[in-house]
Structure 1
């Protein structure tokens, strides 16, 4: 099984925006996002904290509804674009 990268909450929100999600609300340290095709997710954005691997895997599998390999490809492209 491929290894998940260590991602902070604010970076993950930027990645989700890059793939078509938009922020619909922020409440405390949680950001709620929605995609054009009706998918929703909530990401905790705690200062300089890495998202737990289980939560990241749940968001990828259930909220984004994409395969892990597809996520890793998209995230890799996102990271290359930031440099």
Structure 2
């Protein structure tokens, strides 16, 4: 499945819907935490690079399809 072009903010909103919570922010990077899964760091860029987005999705333990449904 092709990855959508989204911003860091949109990625964070989708992760929050999936049960992640914003732990902290340092500069332009937001750290999200989920019990039993770990942490994911999302940069607050206007548009995330496809490789960066794919890495975020992989770290979250979701598939691209599952993530896209949350957008």
TM-score interval, normalised by the smaller of the two chains: 0.7 to 0.9
Instruction: Supply the distance in 2 between the matched residues of 1:26 and 1:52 (Cα, whole angstroms).
Output: 20
Q: Is the 8 A contact 2:37 2:60 kept in 1?
A: no
Contact 1:20 1:36 in 2 (8 A): no
Tell me the alpha carbon deviations over residues 26-70 of structure 1, each in whole angstroms, 9 at most, x when there is no partner.
Answer: 000100000122321000003xx1100001111112x11222233
- 5+ residue gaps, structure 2, are none
Over the aligned positions, Cα root-mean-square deviation in angstroms equals 1.4
* Aligned counterpart, 1:21: 20
Q: Which of 1 and 2 has greater Rg?
A: 1
The answer to which structure has the higher helix fraction is: 1
Alpha-carbon distance in structure 2 between the residues aligned to 1:15 and 1:69: 12
Aligned equivalent of 1:7: 6
Please, which runs of 5 or more residues in structure 1 have no aligned partner? Answer: 79-83
Pairs aligned (count) = 71
TM-score, normalized by length of structure 1? 0.75
Give the TM-score taking structure 2 as reference length: 0.86
